Structure 1
């Protein structure tokens, strides 16, 4: 069962880690490329701030973004800002998300995210946790997938494996880190591909952060995953 209160606390802790690490940057390094193609570190920080506000919209019953174009233009607008402005924006928007998350609400209700995707309100804090943790890695400032909390890594693998489950373009695939196992892709009407590796390597592949070269594959080639 999802514990949104626990996840809100995890979001707060993850945000504090990110802000502490990012505070060691300077204006020049904020303008340098991140690990995301076409995005500087400033783009990543701007996205984190705008995403917090967007999830406040979701929790308060408004559209997540006015449009995809508006989302992208807001990130482009905010990306060139100085480090102090970026950090203040991430901090302030995160505080608004926390305040909204701690207000009395029906956490069993269904909310709408981008592109018509719906989910339980109780899962929104975990979705924000994923944004903060993965984009901290994307900043390329020393925080790696191996540094992610073990609980988060396992739950995000659960989430992404479920997301690709039943996808017609992904063959039946069994994932294991040697202790736990997940299944994803089409239903197993054909032999499964077995993918083995550490939990961080599995997460990196599923989340599009690593190419899968750190994984062992049997029964076929490593599946190409659709974009998130």
Structure 2
């Protein structure tokens, strides 16, 4: 299922990117302090970083997502300064390269262990879920009219379970699944609950 989520989420994100006018990139995104250009650069750089994990899984050669947290931040800041056409190309080409790399993994390599930027050791299959989260949630963050209610129900269910566990929340407010997911992700929501900080 994660492969389908990744493919569909990538299509949604890239379609939203393609419909941005050049002047739209400088406008604020749904994430505080980030323009849409920052967001597109982040998602493109994320694909490049996840390719490092695919290389790790395929070869056994330890290849971290980023050399350091500073490198991640610098890549996003530099990427946000690119021309809109360059950002669109980067978003598309990096997503295509990641999909191609993933398609080259055989069954045994999918179970190879890799380490995320947060230091978690996970099987390579987790890369699909990591990318799925990025493209679906940040498609909403582009602030082009896509909302959590537009995301797949089964994806939202897994997202809610994961974020609640990561945040250490035993109870979450009752309400529509899309609103619960948005609340947990620290995005605008319609629940009667105090907002949380952004997650992801």
Give the TM-score, by structure 1 length.
0.77
**Shift >3 Å, 4+ stretches:** 222-228
Partner in structure 1 of residue 144 of structure 2: 141
Return the offset for 1:225.
6.8
TM-superposition CA deviations, 1:152-211 (whole Å, max 9, x none): 11111121122234xxxx5xx334xxxxxxxxxxxxxxxxxxx2111111111111113x
> In 1, Cα distance between the equivalents of 2:90 and 2:196?
36
**TM-aligned CA distance change 1:225 to 1:93, over 3 Å:** closer
Q: Describe the superposition over 1:27-69 as per-residue Cα deviations: whole angstroms up to 9, x where unpaired.
A: 1111111111111000000000100010110121211101111
Q: CA deviation at 1:26?
A: 1.4
The answer for the alignment partner of 1:94 in structure 2 is 95
What RMSD, in angstroms, separates the aligned Cα atoms of the two structures?
A: 2.0
Q: Who is 1:200 aligned against?
A: 178
Give the aligned partner of residue 174 of structure 1: 171
Match of 2:114, SS state, is strand
CA distance in structure 1 between the partners assigned to 2:178 and 2:39 by the alignment: 21
Quick one: structure 1 residues 136 and 58, their matched pair in 2 at CA, closer, same or farther if it must change by over 3 Å?
A: same
Which residue of 112, 115, 118 corresponds with 1:115? 118
For residues 4-35 of structure 1, give each alpha carbon's deviation from its aligned partner in whole angstroms, at most 9, with x where no partner exists.
Answer: xx422321222122222222211111111111
Cα distance in 1 for partners of 2:38, 2:175 equals 31
Give the conservation status (yes or no) of the 8 Å contact 1:8–1:101.
no
Q: Match of 2:50?
A: 55
Task: Provide the C-alpha distance between the structure 2 equivalents of 1:123 and 1:227, rounded to a whole number of angstroms.
Answer: 18
Tell me the equivalent position of 1:181: none
Q: Which runs of 5+ in 1 are unaligned?
A: 1-5, 176-194
1:160 equivalent in alignment to 2:157: no
Count of residue pairs brought into register by the alignment: 192
Between the aligned partners of 1:59 and 1:100, the Cα distance in structure 2 is 7
Superposed displacement of residue 226, structure 1: 8.8
